Amino acid sequence: MAEIINLNRARKARQKSAAKAVAETNRVLHGRTRADRDARKSERERADRHIEGHRREDDHD
């Protein structure tokens, strides 16, 4: 005799494994490491400070 399976459980398990596969590919394509995020943040802050330091003062008040 064949094994009896719950079709709802089988369907949900198949969807869950497909979602995990999609998530894994998205992590590979779009993911960045913590060090990369921190480096980009510090670079952006340094650039903002540099630009702000070269801003002219308006005396038209």
**Which residue in this structure is represented by tokens 């719950």?**
6
pLDDT on residue 61 = 56
pLDDT over 70 at 58, yes or no: yes
Which residue in the block uniquely carries the two structure tokens 């952006």?
44
57 has a pLDDT exceeding 70: yes
pLDDT at position 1 over 90: no
- Tokens at 25, concatenated: 């590919």
**What residue spans define the domains of the chain?**
9-53
d(CA 34, CA 42): 12
Residues 6+ apart with CB under 8 A from 32: 40
Per-residue pLDDT at 9: 97
Q: Is the entire prediction scored with pTM above 0.85?
A: no
